Structure 1
Amino acid sequence: MKYYLFILLYLFWNSFIYVFNGSIWMYIFCFGLFSATVIWGSFDIQLKYFINSITQKRTKIKEIALTFDDGPTEFTPKFLDLLKEKNIKATFFCIGKRIEKYPKIFQRIIAEGHSIGNHTYSHSNNTGFLSSSKMIEEIEKCDEVISKIGNIKTNFYRPPFGVTNPNIAKAIKKTQKKSIGWNVRSLDTVIDNEKKIYNRITKNLNKGSIILLHDTSEKTYNVLVELLLFLEREKYSTFTMDSMINSTNND
C-alpha cells in the first residue's frame, strides 16, 4: 500500500511540474501534497507509513483474526461467554486504566486462552501529539499493569485510533513491540446501525483478515453474534496474534 502511494504521488508530481514549472503554485502544491501525505500516513495504519504494522496474515486458507480494543469493560464478559460457547480465541488490546478497573475480567480473558495486547495506559485523545518519551511511558505503564494483574508479558501493541507518527514509531521501537493494525475496520464505535457494521465487515473479509472490533457495547456484541454465524457458514477458522507470530517463527 505504501509503495502505491509513492507511485501515485510521483505521477501527480511530474504532471504538476509539467503544467506549472517555475510557478509559485508549484511550491504551494508541494507543501500541500507533503502535508496531505503525512496526515494520510498518520491516520491510515494500513499504509505502514511510519511503522511496519502487521495488518493481515499471509495465508492460503480461510482464516481470520478477531481483535477487540479498549477493554476490559462491563460488556466484556458477554463477549467472553460467546467466544467460549463457540470455542473461538481472540486477541484483546487492553487499556491499562481499564485493566485496573476490571482486574477479574482481565484475568478471565487470560485464563480462557485469549491473546493480550498493549493499548496504552490511558488511551489519550491526544495520542498523536504526545512526545516519544510520553508514549514510551504510556506503553511501559500498561505493561506494568498487565504484568501485575495478569502475570504475563505481551509483545503486541496497537496504537490508539490507529494513529502513527515518528514519535510513536520511536516509542514502539524503544519498547520492542510488534505493532498490530487491521485490514477490516468495523467502525463499530461510529456507526449505530448493527446491520451496517455487519455488512461492512463481511464485504471486506478475505483470507488472513484482521478485524477491528471493540468489546465496549451491546451493539458490537449483537454484531459479533451474527458475524460468528457467518464465519461458521463460510467455513472460516480463526487465529490469534500469538498463534500467528508463533507459526511465523516456526516456518
Structure 2
Amino acid sequence: MKLRRRMMMTAAAALLIAIGALLPITHKNSGTAWSSGTSERAAGAARPHTEEPAARASASALASGKAEAAQPVVYLTFDDGPSKWTPQVLDILAKERVKATFFVLGQEAERREQTVKRIVREGHALGNHTYNHRYDALYRDFEGFWRQARQTDAILERIAGKPVSLLRAPGGTYGNFDAHYFELLEQAGYRIADWNVDSGDSKRRNVPASEIVKTVKAGKLSREVTVLLHDGTGHGESVKALPAIIAYYKAKGYRFAVLDGEAKLVTFRIGPDKWQRTWTEAALARAEQLVGQRSGAWRPLRDWLRDKGTVAWDALRKEAVVRVGGETLRLVPGEDKHVRVYGALHTGGGSLAFRLVGERIFVAAA
C-alpha cells in the first residue's frame, strides 16, 4: 500500500529528507539551480535546528559598503494577536524604525481588522497562526489543522488584499507536527516558521518585563535570530520589554527584518508525537486531496510520471534519474542544499518546475 511504502523509506529517500524542505526552480535548460527554502529536519532529535553562531559584525564591516551582507539579522515575531496591545507594539516599532512579523489568529483578525491593515500598511509581515489556537482541534488529526489554516487564509487575504503563505504552528512544530504534517503543508505552499530564541513571555501568566528581557539576552547569538514574542491578550509585559529587546540587538550589531521570501526560516526537528495520530491510507489520501485544492498544479513526481516514464534514485551518484521515452533528466542534490538539473524533457514547448517537499520531489508543468 502507498502509505506502507512511504513509511518504509529506503536509504535514498532518507537522504532526500536531510536535504531540506522546499527547493523551487524553473527548468528550461541544463545546469539550473534549486534554491533552498526551509531548514533541514531529522526525525527523533530533541532540539530545534539553528545555524552555527557567526562572529559578531565588526564596526569596520558595518561602516563599509558591505555592511548589510556582513551584518547579522534578527527577526522579531509576535504570536496570538492582534489584541489591544498590538497598536502599542506597532507604535514602538515605528519609533525604532524596526520591522517585525505578526502571526495572527483568524478569530482575532476578524475582531480587529483595522489593526491587521495597519500591520500590512506599515511594512510588517503577516503570518497565519490558525484560527483559534486550540491544540486538540489542531493536532488530533490533520484535517482539523487544515480547516483552521484555510479559514484564516481566507480572512487574512480578504483583509490584507493578498494571500499569506507564512505559517506558524501554535506551540511550535516540535511534538505537534509529524512528517506528514510537514510534507502536506509544504506541498500546499505554506512556509513554516518556528524560532530559535524564546523570550519566555508565555511560559506562565504575567511574566515580568525584566524577566523577558533577561531570557532574550540569554539566547544564542546566531547569524540569524528569530525571536518568539507575543502580542495577544495578557501580554502587556511583552510590550514593556520590547524597547529593551530592540536596544539589545542594535547594540550587538544586528539589523531587523521580516520573514519574507528571502529569509531562511527556522523549523524544529521532528520530535516524539504528543498526539499519537494514526495515519491510515484512506486518511492520507483524503489529506492529499484537500492539499491539492490549494497547491494547484504541483504533483508528486512519481504521480506525474505515471504513464509517461520512470524515476529512480542512483545511490552511487546520489541523484534522481528521470526517463521519459528516450530522454533523461538528472536531478542532483548538493551538500549546499541546492539541486542542479541536467538534461531536458520534451514538454511541448512549456517548462517544468521542481521542488522538494519532505522526502519527495514535486513537479509542475507550465
TM over 0.5: yes
The alignment partner of 2:246 has SS state of helix
Residue 224 of structure 2 corresponds to residue 224 of structure 1: no
Alignment correspondent of 1:146: 156
RMSD value, Cα: 2.5
Residue 185 of structure 2 corresponds to residue 172 of structure 1: yes
TM-score scaled by structure 2? 0.50
Partner residue of 1:61 out of 43, 65, 71: 71
Decide whether the 8 Å contact of 1:135 with 1:168 is kept in 2. Answer: no
Counterpart CA distance in 2 for 1:131 and 1:225 is 40
More helix by share: 1
Q: CA deviation at 1:69?
A: 0.6
Alignment correspondent of 2:13: none
Alignment correspondent of 1:31: none
How many percent identity over aligned positions? Answer: 25
Counterpart CA distance in 2 for 1:168 and 1:243 is 21
Decide whether the 8 Å contact of 1:56 with 1:209 is kept in 2. Answer: no
Decide whether the 8 Å contact of 1:140 with 1:175 is kept in 2. Answer: no
Counterpart CA distance in 2 for 1:153 and 1:58 is 33
- Cα gap change, 1:93/1:230 in structure 2, threshold over 3 Å: closer, same or farther? same
Counterpart CA distance in 2 for 1:56 and 1:156 is 20
Partner residue of 1:77 out of 76, 79, 87: 87
Decide whether the 8 Å contact of 1:133 with 1:171 is kept in 2. Answer: no
Q: How does 1:83-232 map to 2 (within 5 A)?
A: 83-126=93-136, 129-162=139-172, 163-166=176-179, 168-191=181-204, 192-206=207-221, 207-216=223-232, 217-232=235-250
Deviations 1:172-191 (CA, angstroms, capped at 9, x unpaired): 13432111011001120125
- Cα gap change, 1:201/1:135 in structure 2, threshold over 3 Å: closer, same or farther? same
Partner residue of 2:260 out of 239, 242, 248: 242
- Cα gap change, 1:128/1:134 in structure 2, threshold over 3 Å: closer, same or farther? closer
Q: Which runs of 5+ in 2 are unaligned?
A: 1-42, 55-69, 265-366
Tell me which stretches of 4 or more aligned residues in structure 1 moved more than 4 Å: 55-60
Q: Structure 2 counterpart of 1:177, which letter?
A: Y
- The total of aligned residue pairs comes to 200
Q: Structure 2 counterpart of 1:190, which letter?
A: K
Counterpart CA distance in 2 for 1:196 and 1:139 is 33
TM-score scaled by structure 1? 0.72
- Cα gap change, 1:170/1:122 in structure 2, threshold over 3 Å: closer, same or farther? farther
The alignment partner of 1:133 has SS state of helix
Counterpart CA distance in 2 for 1:213 and 1:110 is 18
Decide whether the 8 Å contact of 1:127 with 1:160 is kept in 2. Answer: no
Q: CA deviation at 1:244?
A: 3.0
More divergent stretch after superposition (91-100 vs 173-182): 173-182
Q: Which runs of 5+ in 1 are unaligned?
A: 1-36, 48-54, 247-251
More strand by share: 2
Alignment correspondent of 2:285: none
State the structure with more CA Rg.
2
Q: CA deviation at 1:58?
A: 8.9
